[in-house]
Chains A and B, each alone.
Chain A
């Protein structure tokens, strides 16, 4: 069974930094692209960032571009989200979610929808 466990959330002041981690188990981690998705209190889902299995390709929502960095350590089966210059509007539950892999013949294709989700870690940006 694939499991994802986020950690690293907490209370941080505006302008501060935080690094989230997501430990994965039950899968060959390096095979799969991964995502971060967040949900502000009482609001809907917002896709934040995605990264390919190798880590070579990354994607960001405009709302976090230039402030957040996504990375992964495949030897540790761990995904990271480095969040800098945090704002009040970054307050949310942050979910780690696995993307889907498929093949077109021998060509590997990553589809950035999410078939496995973690339970989330809460980030609060407040003074």
Chain B
């Protein structure tokens, strides 16, 4: 089973700043199998990125994903007020399709 670790647990930033979120895997896998989600309080998650770097439909280009092997990154180039939320990475190459524990991005 691949275990995902996300860091930091909480990221305190101001609107307009750049956010860099990390997702590290317990073993290497193809970058084709990494997704990122955003979840706001009281809402279902929303798909942001799949295949490590492809944006889902309707996702603004301030969101970008990168990485390979065991290290993956979600970058939000300039934080908008609506971007303050919790972000999860997910591995989906082979069952179990595990999630990371999440990174909370909150307002500084």
Contacts and interface: CB of A to CB of B under 8 A. Distances in A.
Contacts, number: 62
Contact of B47 (A61, A62, A113, A120): A113
A37 B96 CA distance: 12
B92 interface: yes
A95 B96 contact: no
A59 B44 contact: no
B98 A120 contact: no
Given A45-B88, A117-B44, A117-B45, A111 B50 contact: yes
A71 B98 CA distance: 20
Contacts of A113: 35, 47, 50, 90, 92, 97
A19 B75 CA distance: 39
B45 A114 contact: yes
Interface residues of A, number: 22
Given A113-B35, A114-B47, A119-B44, A44 B96 contact: no
15 contacts: A44-B88, A44-B101, A45-B90, A47-B99, A50-B95, A50-B97, A59-B95, A60-B95, A62-B1, A111-B33, A113-B35, A113-B92, A114-B90, A115-B47, A117-B44
